[in-house]
Amino acid sequence: MAVKTVQDLIAEGVEGRHVLVRSDLNVPLSDGHITDPGRIDASLPTLRALLEAGARVIVSAHLGRPKGEVKPEFSLAPVAEALSERLDQFVPLAGDVTGEDAHERANGLNDGDILLLENVRFDARETSKHAAEREAFAAELADLTGDNGAFVSDGFGVVHRKQASVYDVAQKLPHYAGGLVETELEVLEKVSGSPEQPYVVVLGGSKVSDKLGVIEALAPKVDQLIIGGGMCFTFLAAQGYEVGGSLLQEDQVDNCKQLMEKYGDAIVLPVDVEVGESFDKNTDHRTVNLDSIPAGWMGLDIGPKSVEKFSEILGRAKTIFWNGPMGVFEFEAFSHGTRGVAQAIIDATSAGAFSVVGGGDSAAAVRTLGLEEDGFSHISTGGGASLEFLEGKSLPGVAVLES
């Protein structure tokens, strides 16, 4: 990656300088409490390195989708509290994004101090499709750093978005890649370049349409492509199975047929499924073969025979990329498929395979199910960004750093 890094910035000298860091702190909340702090923890190394070097750090980030309006439930206040605990120093939260309070607090920073701006998506210009609006907002963000500022892009989960705090602001300030972005790109290059064979990809999640691009990009490169989650039922329908009330994208059935005809045995589907009478954690459920899904019942997880089949394939792999849960892992009755596949990947990793969890719901599942994070070679912080990178798409937030 031909870009300057945060270590280059530190070597140039950051004492007395304001450094704007775009982090990805978009963590899940329940009743105002953070349920998965993974992205916060991933942001810490870059922040610590800058603070220890004497920078005056200003952090920008988003939370949820407030759609350009100030909504208290999307405030970064819980994140500021979590950062304060982890950094062992007070992290104040500005009362606005680029307004009077943000400027006063930024001007008052001393060397080694840190400030968190309020949710950048409280300003509609952050995600505007009009370049001039984004650029105006980016200029306001850059102004917070004064005359000798710098920008560090460390929010890998947003680098696939052409947004003001990710893309446009990099054109306003000397720009650098943070340690997290560096690591993510190096890891994904390893699995997309010349991965050690056998190379196995596991895809789950709900919609085939979300994964078509990555299936097309990866199928020619992999030894086997395992498909589970809600998206598997569109593939099963393409094979002629009745899928009951399971999630089905009828407009994608022909695409699935074509993929299976093109790649044959490389695409691996479940052989049994766990079905429920309704989408509820306490619903009646049972394990059935593919030809025995009851009318109206919905497939909510892969079955134990499928876990066994997938585990055998993963046990032979030398490189593994996993994106998307195998079922509704949030419900105990339908968590066994995701847990079983994740454990198989952990076992393969301990035997020498290189494994990457492609962020998003997969990373959340690892933590929710209490699995050992160190059991995987790498857990990405960016689901969408990871997939777009593997599809071969240019990531705007990375491309702008190369200029």
Kindly list the catalytic residues: 39, 207, 360, 384
CA 119: distance to chain centroid? 18
Two tokens at 14? Answer: 């950051």
Residue 170 DSSP one-character state: G
At residue 126, what are phi and psi to the nearest 5 degrees?
-55, -45
Alpha helices per DSSP H over 239-379: 253-263, 304-315, 336-350, 360-368
Is 315 annotated in a binding site? The answer is no
The terminus-to-terminus CA distance of the chain in angstroms comes to 12
Is 378 annotated in a binding site? The answer is no
Q: What is the CA radius of gyration of the chain?
A: 22
Q: In the sheet that 175-177 helps form, which strands lie side by side, from edge to edge?
A: 114-116, 56-60, 18-22, 150-153, 175-177
Is 63 annotated in a binding site? The answer is yes
Two tokens at 10? Answer: 């530190």
Return the half-sphere exposure (C-beta side, CA atoms, 13 A cut-off) of residue 129: 0
- Give 3-state DSSP helix, strand, coil % of the chain, rounded to 5: 45, 15, 40
Is 13 annotated in a binding site? The answer is no
Nearest to 353 by CA among 336, 324, 377: 377
Is 360 annotated in a binding site? The answer is yes
Is 362 annotated in a binding site? The answer is yes
Two tokens at 304? Answer: 């134990």
Angle at 341 between CA 336 and CA 345, to 5 degrees: 145
Is 121 annotated in a binding site? The answer is yes
Two tokens at 186? Answer: 């190096």
Alpha helices per DSSP H over 54-170: 77-87, 100-107, 131-143
Is 84 annotated in a binding site? The answer is no
Is 24 annotated in a binding site? The answer is yes
Is 25 annotated in a binding site? The answer is yes
Is 352 annotated in a binding site? The answer is no
Nearest to 222 by CA among 272, 259, 181, 273: 259
Is 299 annotated in a binding site? The answer is yes
Q: In the sheet that 298-302 helps form, which strands lie side by side, from edge to edge?
A: 285-289, 272-276, 298-302
Is 221 annotated in a binding site? The answer is no
Binding-site positions for ATP read 211, 299, 330, 359-362
Binding-site positions for (2R)-3-phosphoglycerate read 39, 121, 161
Binding-site positions read 24-26, 39, 62-65, 121, 161, 211, 299, 330, 359-362
Binding-site positions for substrate read 24-26, 39, 62-65, 121, 161
